[in-house]
């Protein structure tokens, strides 16, 4: 991981990113081991901030390989930002829609995180893809309707209006 963070040569960083993607795509356990070392965040940072388009593409491909193998929603949260491109956000939401419903502990952790409110805001985001919106609805179906309503942007204002 340190090569991706510190090496001055973007070609070397690209080769390291490619290797990480190849290693992590094998299984959820291998992905967890790679992600435990901070791979998602480092790859995402290189993808977003690199001026080298080749490095950015390689990091994006590595992320696309790791995200579907990531079985722990907590690891996906740091790369769910306003900077995340819509297609990558769609991939993250798809994975969340798969791993959250059957796991009550992960649902509880997720609803307590700021990312639950973040995905509610994505429903009204014009850049969100139709598939992303479907995944959000699928995720929301795993939670009580009152919780989803509470975290929906504008809920407080609407509640105060009704008083």
Q: Which pLDDT tens digit goes with each residue over 84-130? A: 999 999 999 999 999 999 999 999 999 999 999 999 999 888 888 99
- What was the pLDDT predicted at 153? 81
* Rounded mean pLDDT, 69-90: 94
Q: What is the pLDDT of residue 126?
A: 87
Handedness of CA 7, 9, 12, 18 (dihedral sign): positive
- pLDDT confidence bin for 50, thresholds 50/70/90: confident
Q: What is the mean pLDDT of residues 155-159?
A: 69
pLDDT band at 83; cut points 50, 70, 90: very high
Residue 47 burial by Cβ neighbours in a 10 Å radius (0-12, 13-18, 19+): buried
pLDDT at position 91? 96
User: Phi-psi region for residue 154, left (φ > 0), alpha (ψ -120 to 50) or beta?
Assistant: left
Q: What is the pLDDT of the chain when averaged over all its residues?
A: 90
Which pLDDT score, from 0 to 100, does residue 109 have? 94
pLDDT given for residue 1 in this prediction: 63
* Closest to 79 (Cα-Cα) out of 117, 120, 48, 125: 48
Q: What percent of the chain has pLDDT above 90?
A: 74
Nearest Cα to Cα of residue 76 among 40, 112, 47, 46: 40
pTM: 0.90
Phi-psi region of 38 (alpha: psi -120 to 50; beta: other; left: phi over 0): left
* pLDDT average, residue stretch 136-155: 90
């Amino acid at each position: 991981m340190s090569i991706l963070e510190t090496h001055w040569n973007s070609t070397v960083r690209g080769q390291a990113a490619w290797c990480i993607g190849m290693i992590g795509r094998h299984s959820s356990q291998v992905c967890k081991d790679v992600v435990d070392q901070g791979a998602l965040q480092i790859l995402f940072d290189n993808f977003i901030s690199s001026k080298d388009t080749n490095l950015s593409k390689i990091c994006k491909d590595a992320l696309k390989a790791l995200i579907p193998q990531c079985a722990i929603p907590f690891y996906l949260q740091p790369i769910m930002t306003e900077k995340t491109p819509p297609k990558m956000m769609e991939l993250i939401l798809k994975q969340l829609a798969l791993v959250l419903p059957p796991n009550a502990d992960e649902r509880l952790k997720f609803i307590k995180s700021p990312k639950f409110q973040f995905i509610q805001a994505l429903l009204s985001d014009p850049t969100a893809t139709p598939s992303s919106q479907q995944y959000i609805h699928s995720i929301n179906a795993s939670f009580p309707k009152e919780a989803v309503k509470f975290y929906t942007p504008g809920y407080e204002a609407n509640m105060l209006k009704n008083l």
